[in-house]
């Protein structure tokens, strides 16, 4: 190892690489490694800024040996980080104000910092305290350093090595999610791991959910919708405290819809309520959420009343986002793009379907909810949903399932539906348009 410094001075780079390749970190004891660290770091500092291929290989080899040594445990990690100038020099390399450091050197430096933090609380504190601004910026900017930066912050957070501002951290993680959604790329592994910890393993997020911007809340809610839908995430369900908080938020936000007779709702609050509605409706299909939600009579009534209010708003003389689109001619024009009506971009798109889906799942094997549906006139509201509506795909199918679940092993509900009196034919746009000659059915002849 002593010869390395001289060989670098003499530019005998192949000899340096030969010596480094012969070094077996896995068999080095801690005392010997302390001596080797100084030589490895000094060699790295000399070579790190060179664009010459062989010199660059020496710099990367030094970093790889140091990274490998981190796996040997805390004493090896501490030996690397203990030199006074280490963090300052690494930070200067990472920041690279003059833009002269090769990218592979900077990437490996950050990976080394990440390895130094693994199960080492003191290093986590030192590195994150010294590099916090740089690390947070990397996560939110979604550059090539986002994953390693998230890994360092994640380790520091779960071991409570440093007092990180969760509000800021969550906002940065969601910035990363948004950037990847825009670019249609995968979210980095440790951004996902960090978010999963906050979602499933900890209830700390509840403290900051009220404080984050609405735009960030919507990002989080949509992330949670996908989280709930993914089968591989179901072994790590949302933390009960987080889920209960979100459920309470939905009930609170949906009250503004239930209490209004005006379709001109606050756009921001409405979008938040509707996004939570989709999350809750999807949750009713998945365990363990479904079993928990079926015991929440308040939620069932909330959804039932919400359905009735949507129907009431949809029957307003003025067409609005809740007005059903049931005319076949209009539906065909929408599918062909031959209309200015862009229903799929409206925040109300598929919402009534989501409500009926939630009601259908909440009545499954639930005598209490079956009874509530009958007594609170929710059955009638569901029966109104059996018509085609382009604004609400699959609403007919979900309403049929809801009726099945309402009547399953429930004689009272069966009798209630059987006892309904016919007041006239329900409006059926397909038949109406056919009879009026608006649409014609081909007889199949040429």
What is the predicted pLDDT for the residue at 427? 58
What is the predicted pLDDT for the residue at 445? 39
pLDDT at 408 over 80: yes
Lowest mean pLDDT among 237-251, 362-376, 410-424: 410-424
pLDDT at 73 over 50: yes
pLDDT at 441 over 70: no
What is the predicted pLDDT for the residue at 195? 97
pLDDT at 264 over 70: no
What is the predicted pLDDT for the residue at 431? 47
Range 192-199 contact pairs with CB under 8 angstroms and sequence separation of 24 or more: 193/150, 193/151, 193/154, 194/150, 194/153, 194/154, 194/157, 194/169, 195/223, 196/227, 196/233, 196/236, 197/154, 197/157, 197/158, 198/166, 198/170, 198/173, 199/224, 199/227, 199/236, 199/238, 199/239, 199/242
What is the predicted pLDDT for the residue at 84? 87
pLDDT at 440 over 70: no
Greatest alpha-carbon pair distance for the chain in Å reads: 101
% pLDDT > 90, the chain: 66
Distance CA 364, CA 407 (A): 10
What is the predicted pLDDT for the residue at 9? 78
Span 42-51, mean pLDDT?
92
What is the predicted pLDDT for the residue at 309? 87
pLDDT per residue as tens digits for the range 81-138: 999 899 999 999 999 988 999 999 999 999 999 999 999 999 999 999 999 999 999 9
Calculate the average pLDDT of the chain: 88
pLDDT at 442 over 70: no
pLDDT at 334 over 60: yes
What is the predicted pLDDT for the residue at 72? 94
pLDDT at 287 over 50: yes
Span 64-69, mean pLDDT?
96
What is the predicted pLDDT for the residue at 163? 92
What is the predicted pLDDT for the residue at 430? 47
Span 178-186, mean pLDDT?
95
Query: Do 126 and 78 meet the contact criterion of CB atoms below 8 Å apart?
Result: no
What is the predicted pLDDT for the residue at 193? 96
Span 421-446, mean pLDDT?
49
pLDDT per residue as tens digits for the range 367-391: 999 999 999 999 999 999 998 888 8
pLDDT at 438 over 50: no
């Amino acid at each position: 190892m002593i010869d390395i410094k001289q060989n670098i001075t003499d530019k005998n780079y192949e000899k340096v690489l030969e010596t480094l390749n012969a070094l077996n970190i896995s068999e080095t004891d801690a005392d010997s490694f302390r001596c080797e660290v100084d030589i490895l770091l000094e060699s790295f500092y000399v070579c790190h800024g060179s664009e010459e291929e062989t010199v660059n290989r020496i710099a990367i080899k030094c970093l790889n040996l140091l990274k490998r040594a981190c796996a040997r445990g805390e004493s090896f990690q501490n030996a690397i980080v203990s030199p006074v100038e280490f963090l300052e020099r690494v930070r200067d390399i990472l920041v690279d104000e003059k833009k002269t450091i090769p990218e592979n050197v900077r990437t490996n430096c950050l990976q080394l910092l990440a390895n130094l933090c693994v199960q080492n609380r003191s290093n986590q504190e030192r590195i994150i305290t010294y590099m916090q601004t740089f690390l947070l910026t990397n996560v939110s900017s979604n550059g090539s350093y986002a994953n390693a930066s998230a890994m360092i912050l994640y380790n520091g957070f779960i071991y409570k090595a440093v007092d990180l501002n969760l509000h800021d951290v969550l906002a940065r993680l969601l910035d990363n999610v948004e950037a990847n959604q825009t670019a249609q790329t995968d979210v980095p592994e440790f951004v996902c791991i960090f978010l999963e910890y906050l979602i499933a393993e900890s209830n700390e997020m509840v403290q900051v959910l009220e404080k984050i911007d609405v735009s960030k809340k919507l990002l989080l809610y949509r992330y949670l919708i996908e989280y709930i839908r993914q089968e591989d995430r179901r072994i790590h369900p949302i933390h009960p405290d987080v889920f209960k908080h979100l459920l309470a938020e939905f009930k609170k936000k949906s009250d503004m819809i239930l209490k209004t007779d005006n379709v001109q709702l606050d756009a921001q609050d409405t979008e938040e309520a509707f996004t939570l509605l989709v999350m809750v409706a999807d949750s009713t299909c998945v365990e363990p959420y479904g079993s928990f939600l079926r015991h929440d009579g308040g939620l069932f009534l909330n959804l039932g009343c919400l359905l009735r209010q949507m129907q009431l708003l949809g029957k307003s003389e003025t067409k609005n986002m809740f007005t059903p689109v049931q005319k076949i001619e209009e539906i065909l024009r929408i599918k062909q793009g031959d209309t200015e009506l862009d229903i799929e971009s409206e925040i109300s798109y598929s919402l009534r379907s989501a409500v009926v889906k939630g009601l259908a799942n909440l009545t499954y094997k639930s005598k209490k909810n079956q009874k509530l549906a009958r007594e609170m006139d929710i059955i009638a509201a569901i029966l109104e949903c059996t018509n085609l509506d382009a604004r609400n795909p699959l609403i007919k199918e979900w309403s049929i399932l809801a009726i099945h679940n309402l009547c399953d092993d429930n004689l009272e509900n069966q009798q209630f539906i059987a006892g309904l009196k016919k007041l006239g034919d329900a409006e059926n746009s397909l038949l109406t348009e056919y009879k009026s000659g608006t649409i014609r059915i081909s007889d199949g002849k040429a």
